[in-house]
Amino acid sequence: MTVGFVLGGGGVRGATEVGMLRALFEAGVTPDLIVGTSIGALNGAAVAHDPSPSVIATLEAAWNSPTASAIYGEWWPRQLRRLAQSKTHLNNPAPLRDMIVDLVGEDATFEALAVPFAVCAASIERAAETWFDTGPVIDAVLASASVPAALPPTVIDGEHYVDGGIVNSIPLGEAIRRGADEVFVLQVGRIEESLEAPQKPSDVAKIAFEISRRHRFARDMADVPAGVRVHVLPYGGAQDGDEKLGAFRRLDTVGARMEAAYTATAAYLEEAGVTRG
């Protein structure tokens, strides 16, 4: 049996994945391969580097660090000045790069990781989904998490890449294609939240965005081959204010997200009788 961890995108909601990982490790479930997109690429890189329970403390510290605050909590006037200067993005990519380096090391390569790992990014020039699984890790993870308008595209070998969530937000199919036959999907909760027809202008863009994020995963779930078992781990429920536009910046919810996801996932794994090791 080949166990795959699929870590999806979702900005600050990605803290839920840390709680899920804690529950998985406590149940003795460890990955044979990992695929990730966007913030899931960052969390996944840490696990691929250190696929042991000790990585949980590392991730918890990273998510509660000043570096994380610099990524998500930068002062609005400074962001607006940067947008005026760059014409394309609000945030400085340096803190995100620093966070990735803190998790895996400056010179990390895919080949040197303890677990096979791949990350998804979207190529601008080719308008194509691209998977990185060889060479330097840092730029590949940064590319996967380069949210348009928030961060500039990441340049790798002369090509510009943006957030992998645009093309494959929860890359279940990729894990199966790479040989996983027991798959644990770590997702941030959006697929558990219902959608309704828009009632006001602000709803239109939000709902269109959610459909674009979710449809690929729905198709992948419908196409799961016989003999492959998929566990979609529960995220533990929404936090107060998640419905608001600025929720993606709220680092004060990190601890609550981790704990809720841990509790829900531990209960799921116990009920499903999932253990390994």
DSSP letters, the chain, are --EEEEE---GGGGHHHHHHHHHHHHTT---SEEEEETHHHHHHHHHHH--STHHHHHHHHHHTSHHHHHHH---HHHHHHHHHHHSS-SS-SHHHHHHHHHHH-TT-BGGGSSS-EEEEEEETTTTEEEEE-SSBHHHHHHHHT--BTTBPPEEETTEEEEEGGGT-SS-HHHHHHTT-SEEEEE--SGGGS------SHHHHHHHHHHHHHHHHHHHHHHTPPTT-EEEE-----PPTTTTSGGGGG-GGGHHHHHHHHHHHHHHHHHHHT----
Phi/psi of residue 184, each to 5°?
Answer: -110, 115
Cα–Cα dist 18/33, whole Å:
17
pLDDT of residue 99: 95
Stretch 47-75: mean pLDDT: 89
Q: Cβ contacts of residue 244 below 8 Å, gap of 6+?
A: none
pLDDT of residue 207: 87
Q: For the chain, how many residues are written?
A: 277
Stretch 242-269: mean pLDDT: 81
* Residue-wise pLDDT tens digits, 72-100: 666 455 655 655 666 565 677 888 999 99
R_g (Cα) of the chain, nearest Å: 18
- Identify the CA nearest to 155 among candidates 118, 124, 128: 124
Active-site choice (139, 163, 169, 220) = 163
More confident: 191 or 80: 191
- Identify the CA nearest to 6 among candidates 140, 137, 118: 118
- Assess whether 163 carries a catalytic annotation: yes
Cα–Cα dist 83/151, whole Å:
10
pLDDT of residue 72: 66
Active-site choice (38, 144, 146, 169) = 38
**Residue 45: pLDDT over 60:** yes
Please state, as a whole number, how many other Cβ atoms lie within 10 Å of the Cβ of residue 171.
32
- Identify the CA nearest to 232 among candidates 275, 174, 272, 276: 272
* Residue-wise pLDDT tens digits, 213-239: 888 999 999 999 999 999 999 999 988
pLDDT of residue 212: 81
Q: Which of 26-40, 58-72, 232-246, 260-274 has the lowest mean pLDDT?
A: 232-246
Instruction: Please state whether beta strands 128-132 and 117-123 pair in parallel, antiparallel, or not at all (unpaired).
Output: antiparallel
For the chain, first and last CA: distance in Å? Answer: 12
**33 beta partners:** 4
* Entry pTM: 0.92
**Residue 4: pLDDT over 90:** yes
> 125: which 2 tokens?
């020039």
Stretch 183-194: mean pLDDT: 91
> 112: which 2 tokens?
């040197």
Q: Report the share of the chain in percent with pLDDT over 90.
A: 69
